[in-house]
A and B are shown apart, each in its own frame.
Chain A
């Protein structure tokens, strides 16, 4: 009998509400608002209550996909990252860094989004970066 409540922070926006993700035998069984947390004080919005919905969702991507002849085909990470690097380099050379924009994700950590910002500005040389969680 394995029961855990894992303290975590909602990934859907920048407010930073705190919650416990409940697991029984390693499978997610619910969300408890974190009552002792001073940010959210035991309250959540509909996103927080449903924050685990994507974890086991059948439509969740488990591998990179590359569009080949109009169809999305499963690929390895090496193959996908190499393709992205080549394309970004050629677009930057042909049209300049301002032609590239990055949309990053609320489901990443703060640190991952920081790295994305560094990648945009220091590597690609563009300021075109945005994020769905900038409340």
Chain B
């Protein structure tokens, strides 16, 4: 599969200013901007990094740059929500999509482990639902509260979930606002700290799982965000990342996006 992607990248390097992908160097893999003349044998596709964040940074740093990006299904979904919020210029980006492996789809509990613009790989079956979500659903209300209380008490307030998230790009972050989050407390105030982010992720979270993967405290954050995605789908009929033309319901008025009964 990687040979097909390298070929596609090589072609784009002739017609575009650069291609965002991963590169292996001195014992590690990191995001990189491949340009003409770079050694494509160093290009990698794993582990997954939120590469649309890098595309956004490059689009802002170089207002004329025309890029391509090697992307998974979750990268493509992140792209959709970032374009809607003016973080990526779609006229200056081409997506070279590849399918995740069946193992990756299972590990991520991913419902859509393949992008629409598929260049390489065969779409695997979607991963199973996260069993923790079903377990959570079966708990009575008071136990749900204790579940999160226990999980959030592990938080070391590193802000990694926010920092790694491709959909977190506000210039002023409510999680750093002393009016909402009292400084100097560990664990951070329950439940405001994590629920501020969850509320802001409603209609944005594209289930890439980066927050959970980078959490040093092993908080099962995708349970929180899966439930948020489910509510937004059921109440507002909106699936973040699915459709570039669909209006995010929290960006329009209640008349334009009425709640479903």
Contacts and interface: CB of A to CB of B under 8 A. Distances in A.
A49 B162 CA distance: 11
Contacts of B213: 35, 42
B21 to A, nearest CB: 12
Contacts of B30: 5, 7, 20, 32, 34
A49 to B, nearest CB: 5
Nearest to A2: B33
B35 A33 contact: no
Contact of B216 (A7, A32, A36, A45): A45
Contacts of B49: 32, 35
Nearest to A5: B30
Contact of B28 (A25, A36, A48): A36
Given A34-B28, A36-B29, A3 B58 contact: yes
B159 interface: yes
B75 to A, nearest CB: 15
Contact of A45 (B58, B65, B158, B164): B158
Contacts of B26: 7
Contact of A49 (B25, B27, B58, B159): B159
A1 B214 contact: no
Contacts of A5: 30-32
B28 A46 contact: no
Contacts of A36: 27-29, 47
B89 interface: no
B57 interface: yes
Interface size class of A (residues with CB under 8 A): 20 to 34
Given A29-B57, A42-B47, A1 B159 contact: no
Contacts of B164: 33
Nearest to A31: B163
A26 B151 CA distance: 40
A37 interface: yes
Contact of A3 (B27, B32, B47, B158): B32
A24 interface: yes
B170 interface: no
A32 B47 CA distance: 13
A8 to B, nearest CB: 10
Question: Most chain-B CB neighbours within 10 Å: which of A29, A32, A34?
Answer: A32
Contacts of B33: 1, 3
Given A1-B35, A29-B57, A29-B61, 9 more contacts: A3-B18, A7-B26, A22-B31, A25-B61, A35-B213, A36-B28, A43-B216, A44-B160, A45-B158
29 contacts: A1-B33, A1-B58, A1-B62, A3-B18, A3-B32, A3-B33, A3-B58, A5-B30, A7-B25, A7-B26, A7-B30, A24-B58, A29-B61, A31-B163, A32-B30, A32-B31, A33-B164, A34-B28, A34-B30, A35-B213, A37-B28, A42-B214, A43-B160, A44-B158, A44-B214, A45-B216, A46-B156, A48-B158, A49-B159
Interface of B: 17-18, 25-33, 35, 47, 49, 57-58, 61-62, 65, 156-160, 163-164, 213-216
